[in-house]
Amino acid sequence: ALYGADVVPLVAFGKTADRMSRGHRFMHDKAVWVSDADAYVEALRGAKVLVDADERRAAIVREVEAAAAQAGGTARITEDNLEQVNGLVEWPKAVLCGFEKAFLRVPQEALISTMEANQKFFPVLDAQGRLTAAFIGIANIISTNEAEVRKGYERVIRPRFADAAFFFDADLKQGLSAMNEGLVTVTYQQKLGSYADKVARIAQLARAIATALGDDAELAEVAALLCKADLQSRMVGEFPELQGIAGRYYAVHDAGLVELSPDARAAVGAALDEVYAPRFAGDAIAASRLGQILAIAERLDTLAGGFAAGLKPSGNKDPFALRRNALGLARTLIEGGLDLNLLGLLGAASAGVQESMRAVDFAEKAKKGGDVAQAYGAVAGHDAVGELYDFILDRLRSYFADRGVGAALFDAVAATKPVSLADFAERIHALQRFAELPGAAALAAANKRARNILKKVEGVLPATIDASKLVEPAERELHAALVAALADTDATLAARDYVAVLGRLAALRGPIDAFFDGVMVMADDAAIRDNRLALLKVLADRFAAVAAIEQLAA
């Protein structure tokens, strides 16, 4: 331990500090004199030890990339694998290795997982991103017999690959359909039944979603019924991270799908993988429409089930990952441009969950000899649709905040509670455009003033405006401008062209300002007062058809 050129006087773990270190245990196994702290890195480098972690990391990357190029491919270098290897070596040296090409018939994700997780090797990929029969190990020595090092690396990987091949072959022989039958014995959650129960609920939702989108409902149901089958596979049992991925491979060979066309079978396989997308923060949503349908259905059931079973997140506890599922659901609906009635889907999901819970409770009471009739209704009546919707909007708040959407703008749209999240996103976009207009702040303030006046009114306002009761020039001018704006925005509002709607309504700023400057809304004459209130209500309601823009007011 040195401070400058001075030895720090201390004793730790039975050792007395001095200026001596030690070199690489194989290539320089001797003491190294360190004159001062600044000389430490160079002194150890001369003794075949790269003590600077960044320098060592860069050396590993250079070595691995050069070896991969030698094999005619590109190395797969993940941050986790690189970090671990960096902590295992002092003087990294890449060793290019290979394995039998026959193993390449096994899902490459399984082989890659084995190489990275178990052995800290770097796989080599071709130009299309497919695994080649080459991999790279990092030795902690420049060996005089590199061939022996290579043989050792290849020897340890072969049995693991053989196991993966055995699992793959056994799973292919069994088939997805047979695996699916075993889900009835696997409990999903005590109150929610088995995985077979969950799959049945997902299939029902997937069919409804596909129908609403005008897609193939039959194919959606087929895919949904298989979306958890690979959980029973040997491959996923050994490599849990392959759930969904294994299903994609097995769908291509499954005898139960023989009646499907090759394209339909491939679509089902892709969807079985994509049902879990996005898998983590920053991951892409499902690429295919069928995958998006399954991903939505799966998350709807997970959310409805979690809430019904009393597993709502609390603090940092979220055992069912409901926050992540809510965000994944919202992202898929928005980024997929899927114009679906979220409230309706949440209602359907909740109904399916309630039916399962009643069945589970019924079975439990029957098994114990209890009052079956009472049990059947024991869990009925829980309506979590509104609560679930608000929970999803909370996740959506952070999603839009990450994209530069302020809290006031988000709240302005959220106040209208759009039933479609794709529609929600369109309103956000329109309001962003509106907020850039020169008169946006004044219009927001005017709407806030109108809303505050209307809130104080007791009783029911007239549903229509009586033009004969408009006595002031400013109110007649606003009425004429508003009637024209309503006519101009009826079609654009129906088409959900919110940018056009707000752009047209923004032209009302002059008449609105003149109205508030020159008209006493709360007139003594009740008929005139109510008519002016009706005018304000029609105006405010047309803005509110897009968003509660008064929330943009300072």
Instruction: Kindly write down the DSSP assignment for every residue of 240-263, as one continuous string.
Output: GGGTTHHHHHHHHH-GGGTTS-HH
Share of the chain above pLDDT 70, in %: 96
DSSP β-ladder status, 74-75 and 122-125: antiparallel
SS3 92: coil
Q: What pLDDT shows up at residue 367?
A: 64
pLDDT digits (tens, 9 = 90+) for 41-56: 888 888 989 999 999 9
Note the pLDDT tens digit of each residue in 123-158. 999 999 999 999 999 999 999 899 999 999 999 999
Long-range contacts of 485-491 (CB under 8 A, 24+ apart): 485/542, 486/538, 486/542, 489/542
DSSP state of 76: -
370 DSSP 8-state letter: -
Residue among 23, 71, 82, 76 at smallest CA distance from 51: 23
Confidence of residue 378 (pLDDT cuts 50, 70, 90): very low
Rounded distance, CA 361 to CA 373, Å? Answer: 11
Report whether pLDDT(375) > 50. no
Domains of the chain: 2-45 (no CATH), 53-171 (no CATH), 179-401 (no CATH), 424-552 (1.10.730)
CA pair distance 97, 112, nearest whole angstrom: 14
H or E element that contains 449: helix 440-455
Describe the crossing of helices 79-86 and 53-70 by its angle, rounded to 10 degrees: 120
For the record, the structure tokens of 20 come out as 């001596």
Distance CA 181, CA 160 (A): 29
Please write the tens of the pLDDT for every residue from 57-97: 999 999 999 999 999 999 999 999 999 999 999 999 999 99
Grade residue 315 by pLDDT with cuts at 50, 70 and 90. Answer: confident
Check if the beta carbon of residue 1 is closer than 8 Å to that of residue 7: yes
Residue 442 contacts by C-beta under 8 Å, 6 or more apart in sequence?
509, 513
